[in-house]
DNA sequence: ACACACATGTAATTGGTTACATGATTTC
DNA sequence: GAAATCATGTAACCAATTACATGTGTGT
C-alpha cells in the first residue's frame, strides 16, 4: 500500500527504538536524520493515527513516569514488513530545488554584494552544520558502534561531511572569484567590459 | 509582494532572454538550471497569467513564424525590479528531504543487497549528470563567455560538478564498505537505541 | 497515415507547512 | 507565579505534481 514518506520515517525510527511518542519521534528525527530530513508535528500526529489504524504500529503503555498525557507507540510485525517493502523499492529522487543556487544563477541582475552575501550565509550555515556533524560522528563512534545500524548511520554522516567540505571549498573559490575585479564592478556605476546585453540564450 | 518561487524563476529567465513562450521557458529552465531546479507546466502557465495581470511581464508578438498558437512574454521594468528585490532578500533553505539517504540510514532493516542497489542507482544517476554538466560547461565556455551572467552560470556549474564528484567518491567508498563483511548478516536483530546525537536546526 | 515535437491550459490530488488552540509539568 | 519545555492535536492554506483535454505543425 502506498503511503506518504512521513509514514516510513516514523516506521524506521520506531524500528530502531520502540516506545516513542510523537513528540519524541520528532526529536529523534531531528537528532539523527535531521540534516537531510525534516518533519513537522502537523504531519507526524495524523500519520501516527493512520499507522495505528492500519495496525503498523500500536499504542503502548508509557514505560516511565506519567508526564503530561502522552501516547507512545511501538512498531508491529506488519509495520516492520511494510518498512522493509518500502526499503526494497528504488528510491525516488524528487526534482531538487535550491533557492541559493537559483539566486546565484541570476547574480548578474543584482549588485555583486548581493551574491557575496548569499555565499557568506551559505558558508556560515555549512560551517556550523559541518561542526555539529563531526561532533555527532565522534559521539556515534564512541556510543553507537555496536548497533547493527551503525555502519549505515556512519555512511550518511560521511556523505554529509564530504558534501559539506566540498561545498565549503567551492564557496571559498566562489568568493575569491566574485571579489576579484572580474565581476566586481557595480552595474550601476559603470560598464566594466564589453556592452554585452541580455539578448541571447546560452 | 510575496510570490511563489516559480514566478521568480520565470522573471529571471525572461531577464536573461526575452520573448519566450511558456513552453520555451520550461525548456530553458531545464537546460540551464535544470540540475538544481524543476518546473512543471501546471505551475508555469498559471503563473505566467498572474505575472502578466500584475504587469511584471507583457505578452509580446511572436518574433518568428506562426507556429501553433503560442504566446511569448517579455519582462517589464516592474518585473525586473521585482526580480532584483527578491534577489536581495536572503535565500530561504527549505528543509531538505533526501529519500536516498533515508533508505540508506535504515539500511540494516533490509538485506545489504538493497542498500547496495540504492547506491548503484545513485552512482549511475550522478555519473550521467556529471557527464552532461561537464559537457554543458564546455559549451558554455565557448558560446556564452561574453554574457554578463556567465561568471554566475559557471559558479553554479562548478558547484554542481564539485558536489557530484564528491558524491561519487563517497559512493565508491560506501560500496567497498558494504561489500566487505563488516556489515552484519543479521536483518532480524533490532537495535535498542538511536545514536547519541545533538544535531539541531537553528 | 502516423508519430512526434510543439503548445496551452485546467482539475484533482497530494504532501506538506504554519498557525492556532489547549493544557500539564518542571524549573527558576 | 512566570517561563520554558513537554505534549497533542486541528484547521487553513499553499505550492506543486499529475493527469487530463485539446489541438497544430513537421517529418517519415
**Residues linked to residue B20 through DSSP beta bridges, in sequence order:** B73
Do residues B73 and B52 lie in contact, with contact meaning Cβ atoms separated by under 8 Å?
yes
Cα gap B158→B133, rounded to integer Å: 9
A94-109 pLDDT, tens digit per residue, is: 888 999 999 999 999 9
User: Residue A3's pLDDT band (boundaries 50, 70, 90)?
Assistant: confident
The three cell numbers locating residue A15? 524500528
In sequence order, which residues have a C-beta less than 8 Å from that of residue A24 and are 6 or more positions away? A72
Chain B environment of A140 (Cβ under 8 Å):
195-197
| Protein-to-nucleotide distance from the CA of B105 to the C1' of C28, whole angstroms | 40
User: Residue B182's pLDDT band (boundaries 50, 70, 90)?
Assistant: low
| Protein-to-nucleotide distance from the CA of A5 to the C1' of C15, whole angstroms | 9
pLDDT (0 to 100) of residue B69: 77
Q: Do B195 and A136 touch (CB under 8 A)?
A: yes
| Per-residue pLDDT at B192 exceeds 80 | no
In b/e form, how buried is each residue of A67-106, taking b as 16+ CB within 10 angstroms?
A: eeeeebbbbbeebbebbbebbeeebeeeeebbbbbbbbbb
The CATH number of the structural domain formed by A5-88 is 1.10.10.10
pLDDT (0 to 100) of residue A95: 84
Q: Mean pLDDT score of chain B, rounded to an integer?
A: 88
pLDDT (0 to 100) of residue A199: 35
Residue of B nearest to A103 (CA): B87
Chain A nearest C-alpha distance from B57 (Å): 16
**Residues linked to residue A74 through DSSP beta bridges, in sequence order:** A58
Find the helix packing angle between A5-16 and A77-88, rounded to 10°. 120
Q: What are the percentages of helix, strand and coil residues in chain B, rounded to 5?
A: 60, 5, 35
In b/e form, how buried is each residue of B90-108, taking b as 16+ CB within 10 angstroms?
A: ebeeeeebbbbbbbbbbbb
Residues by CB within 7 A of strand D: list them. Answer: A 21-24, 41-42, 45-46, 48-49, 67-72, 95, 97; B 4-6, 38-43, 65-69
pLDDT (0 to 100) of residue A197: 38
Q: Given B9, B100, B170, which is nearest A158 (Cβ)? A: B170
Q: Do B170 and A162 touch (CB under 8 A)?
A: yes
Instruction: Compute the radius of gyration of chain B from its Cα atoms.
Output: 22
| Protein-to-nucleotide distance from the CA of B46 to the C1' of C10, whole angstroms | 10
A144-153 pLDDT, tens digit per residue, is: 999 999 999 9
- Maximum CA extent, chain A: 73
Cα gap A195→A177, rounded to integer Å: 21
Q: Mean pLDDT score of chain A, rounded to an integer?
A: 88
Cα gap A28→A90, rounded to integer Å: 25
- Parallel, antiparallel, or unpaired for β A20-21 and B20-21? unpaired
In sequence order, which residues have a C-beta less than 8 Å from that of residue B45 and are 6 or more positions away? B22
Specify the residue for cell string 556515534.
A140
| Number of other CB atoms surrounding residue B59 within 10 Å | 13
CA-wise closest residue to B59 among B77, B71, B41: B71
For residue A89, give the 3-state DSSP assignment.
coil
Cα gap B94→B114, rounded to integer Å: 29
| Per-residue pLDDT at B193 exceeds 60 | no
Specify the residue for cell string 504500529.
A57
Cα gap A107→B91, rounded to integer Å: 12
| Per-residue pLDDT at A190 exceeds 50 | no
User: Residue B166's pLDDT band (boundaries 50, 70, 90)?
Assistant: very high
Cα gap A161→B32, rounded to integer Å: 28
More confident residue, A199 or B137: B137
Cα gap A86→A102, rounded to integer Å: 33
A43-97 pLDDT, tens digit per residue, is: 999 999 999 999 999 998 765 555 557 899 999 999 999 999 999 999 998 888 9
pLDDT (0 to 100) of residue B60: 87
A10-40 pLDDT, tens digit per residue, is: 999 999 999 999 999 999 999 999 999 999 9
The CA distances from residue A128 to A124, A132, A133, B28, in Å, are 6, 6, 9, 35
| Per-residue pLDDT at A1 exceeds 80 | no
The three cell numbers locating residue A108? 548578474
B61-114 pLDDT, tens digit per residue, is: 765 555 557 899 999 999 999 999 999 999 998 888 999 999 999 999 999 999
Cα gap A18→B193, rounded to integer Å: 8
Amino acid at each position: 500500500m502506498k503511503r506518504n514518506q512521513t509514514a516510513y520515517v516514523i516506521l524506521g525510527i520506531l524500528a530502531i527504538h520502540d516506545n516513542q511518542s510523537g513528540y519524541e519521534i520528532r526529536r529523534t528525527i531531528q537528532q539523527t536524520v535531521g540534516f537531510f530530513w525534516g518533519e513537522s508535528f502537523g504531519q507526524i500526529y495524523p500519520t501516527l493515527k493512520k499507522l495505528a489504524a492500519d495496525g503498523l504500529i500500536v499504542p503502548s503503555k508509557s514505560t516511565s513516569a506519567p508526564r503530561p498525557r502522552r501516547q507512545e507507540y511501538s512498531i508491529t510485525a506488519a509495520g516492520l514488513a511494510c518498512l522493509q517493502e518500502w526499503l526494497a523499492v528504488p528510491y525516488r529522487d524528487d526534482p531538487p530545488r535550491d533557492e541559493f543556487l537559483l539566486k546565484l544563477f541570476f547574480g548578474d541582475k543584482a549588485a555583486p554584494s548581493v551574491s557575496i552575501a548569499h555565499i557568506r550565509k551559505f558558508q556560515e550555515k555549512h560551517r556550523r552544520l559541518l561542526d555539529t556533524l563531526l561532533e555527532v560522528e565522534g559521539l556515534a563512534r564512541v556510543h553507537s558502534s555496536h548497533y547493527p545500524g551503525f555502519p549505515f548511520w556512519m555512511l550518511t554522516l560521511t556523505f554529509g561531511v564530504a558534501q559539506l567540505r566540498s561545498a565549503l571549498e567551492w564557496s571559498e573559490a566562489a568568493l575569491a572569484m566574485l571579489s576579484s575585479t572580474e565581476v566586481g564592478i557595480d552595474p550601476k556605476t559603470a560598464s566594466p567590459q564589453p556592452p554585452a546585453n541580455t539578448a541571447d540564450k546560452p
